[in-house]
Amino acid sequence: MGPLCDFCGEQRSMVYCRSDSACLCLSCDRNVHSANALSKRHLRTLLCDRCNSQPAIVRCIEENASLCQNCNWNGHNAPTAAPTSAHKRQTINCYSGCPSAAELSRIWSFVLDFPPIDDSSCEQGLGLMSIDEDNASNCWDPPEKSNKVNLQGLSRLSELENVDKVNILIGSSSISDRMADPKLCSSGIKGLDIRDGDDIYEGFGVDDDLNFDNYEELFGATQDYSEQLLDDAGIDGLYTMKNMSSAADGDCQGDSIAEAKAKQGACSSAMSADSLKSNQGATSEPSLCFPGRQARRSLSLSLSGLTAESSAGDFQEFEMSSMPVTGEPPPWCPTGPESSMFTPTDRNSAVMRYKEKKKMRKFDKKIRYASRKARADVRRRVKGRFVKAGEAYDYDPLSETRSF
């Protein structure tokens, strides 16, 4: 039957909501995400058929399975997966709003058995590709729209081999206009609400055939900020990051504040390479054109965002993968028979895998109890604070508009 829905615990979960970090059945997905305007904006996608815990990003045609980044890598890109590396794969689209079963069937045509969903609870239909600053990665438009992809997904494109050519989809104004406008620029692509069905391909100033070969022309930047920032910081920064992790773990708690700041400054660039949008909490905004201070601000990632979960495992992997980049092991790396066990091929694959994982890594807030989140989402507030039921309030989460 597969994994059960995190919400009802009865039905088989089919979709994954990144915002809620929850696996949901279609019925609960609809109920939960029709609760208010905010939850309607949550981007969801299919659940990985292999690990049943991560959002799927590609559909392997040969295997008839939806796969997350890791499973896709393990199944197709890993050195041991040579026979399957040529498998034809199709990107999987995200959706927001409250799509009907028919609409889901349309965007995920490869999934044949969508159960009927009760449409009564939600009037808003499918809202494809509404750009969400927290969950915009992995989001593609339907195949019939030439695999349009939002900008925040750009850095991940290079990871997807055998995926159809992907085009850039920008909002209702041309890119040059947006880049020229500091206000629009500073706010990145926030506010570009692109809906399926909108006549968004006309008047963009962006040709349908625009592909990633033209990316640098358009933005004056490389496609992969991770790579760039990694290069800018240099591997020294990475080493410092490793050291910082140790300090953060309490081994160097006697460090002065100045030292800590210096370390943080050194490591922030590397750390933030894949977390440009996630380090600023609710006010974070994707910055496509980092103007001066904004760029540096984006680089400063609070170490508090490094959870034990993300740091321990990742750094282990990083420790191994950093060696081939530098050519010599870092001072903290054990120098013995173990450290010379890796062949260049192994090392390169480890580096690749680390980079893939690093790109995927998110520092989002982890929701431990989806039910509590659902309750908090509909709880009434006064100036952000919860108020007793029955008291006057200034914000009704169930209302489309706020009254201040």
Binding site for DNA (CB under 7 A): 38, 186, 261, 279-284, 292-294, 296-298, 300, 302, 304, 365, 367-369, 371-373, 375-377, 379, 381, 383-390, 395, 397, 402
Look at strands 58-60 and 44-46 and give their pairing: unpaired
**β-pair partners for 377:** none
Measured from the CB of residue 161, what is the shortest distance to DNA in angstroms? 34
Which residues are CB-contacts of 230 (< 8 A; sequence separation ≥ 6)? 238, 270, 273
Q: How far is the CB of 183 from DNA (least distance, A)?
A: 10
Closest separation between CB of residue 355 and DNA, Å? 24
DSSP state of 337: G
Q: Toward DNA, which CB reaches closer, 31 or 147?
A: 31
Closest separation between CB of residue 305 and DNA, Å? Answer: 7
Instruction: List the structure tokens of 343.
Output: 């062949």
The amino acid at residue 301 is L
DSSP, collapsed to helix, strand or coil, labels residue 373 as helix
Amino acid at 92: I
The CB-of-382 to DNA minimum distance in angstroms stands at 8
Q: Tokens 């080493």 appear where?
A: 239
Helix axes 344-360, 308-326, angle to 10 degrees: 140
Are the C-beta atoms of 54 and 71 separated by less than 8 Å? yes
State in angstroms the smallest separation of the CB of 224 from DNA: 21
Indicate the residue among 325 and 398 with the shorter CB distance to DNA: 398
CB of 371 to DNA, least distance (A): 4
292 vs 327 by CB, closer to DNA: 292
Distances (CA, A) of 369 to 25, 203, 377: 16, 44, 12
Residues 6+ apart with CB under 8 A from 313: none
Whole-angstrom CA distances from 209 to 192, 196, 362 are 21, 19, 31
Closest to DNA by CB, 109 vs 302, is 302
Inter-residue contact 277 to 364 (CB < 8 Å): no
For 241, the token pair is: 């990051």
Judged by CB, which is closer to DNA: 70, or 298?
A: 298
Closest CA to 244 of 235, 255, 234: 255
Residues, the chain? 404
Please name every residue paired with 193 in a beta bridge, in sequence order, or none if there are none. 130
Return left, alpha or beta for 21; rule: phi > 0 is left, psi -120 to 50 is alpha, else beta: left
User: Closest distance between DNA and the C-beta of residue 41, in Å?
Assistant: 10
Closer CB to DNA, 38 or 102, in the complex: 38
Distance CA 402, CA 404 (A): 6
Q: How far is the CB of 380 from DNA (least distance, A)?
A: 8
User: Nearer Cβ to DNA, position 71 or 273?
Assistant: 273
State the nearest-atom distance from the C-beta of 300 to DNA, in Å: 6
**Paired tokens of 239:** 């080493």
Question: Smaller CB distance to DNA: residue 283 or 343?
Answer: 283
Distances in whole angstroms, Cα of residue 124 to Cα of each of 47, 96, 401, 402: 23, 10, 15, 19
Which H or E element spans position 27? helix 26-32
